[in-house]
Amino acid sequence: MTIVRPERPGDVSVIRDLLASCFPTNGEARLVDALRGADRLPVSLVADVGGVIVGYVAFSPVSSAKGAKGVGLGPIAVADQHRCQGIAGMLVREGMRACRKAGFSWAVVLGEPAYYSRFGFHPASDCGLADEYGGGDAFQVVELSPGGLPVDDGVVRYASEFALLE
């Protein structure tokens, strides 16, 4: 059985190794370490199968040009041999729930629209939001609580630690 739960202190090195194995470089692993070190990882969840961590998702703070505070989803990763079983979907849904509970009213993601639309994400340009990376329709937003979406708020910036990915 797969359970999704918040990361614990003892999970840190396993999360680092999982991210390093799922992406071409260790940039994402270093990013998550840096976000955690800067206390900018309000939601950090693992997927645990029988005590083994096989998936991970991070949500970190973002803010719009007009100062609205939300969260950004990513990175997300699932170990190769556990893919296409809905584990990333569980991480996204549970993560959105945890962000809502933590008081965030909107979330963004830079990712494949065909995938993230199933969770309610839609192009952020629909409501006058843009990203700093020229993501176009890949930059998506979802409302986490009614009326929580900022409108015409301009460029949404991720935490400064994301510069590690450039």
Ligand X SMILES: CC(C)(COP(=O)(O)OP(=O)(O)OC[C@H]1O[C@@H](n2cnc3c(N)ncnc32)[C@H](O)[C@@H]1OP(=O)(O)O)[C@@H](O)C(=O)NCCC(=O)NCCS
Applying CB under 6 A, the residues found at the interface with ligand X are 22-23, 74-78, 83-89, 111-112, 114-115
Closer Cβ to ligand X, 42 or 148, answer by number: 42
Task: Compute the distance between CA of residue 83 and CA of residue 101 in angstroms, rounded to an integer.
Answer: 27
Closer Cβ to ligand X, 117 or 145, answer by number: 117
CA angle 13, 112, 73 (to 5 degrees): 40
Closer Cβ to ligand X, 90 or 98, answer by number: 90
Report CA torsion sign: 8, 156, 122, 76: negative
Query: Shortest Cβ distance from residue 88 to ligand X (Å)?
Result: 3
Taking the alpha carbons at both ends of the chain, their separation in whole angstroms is 37
Would you tell me how many other CB atoms lie within 10 Å of the CB of residue 144? 21
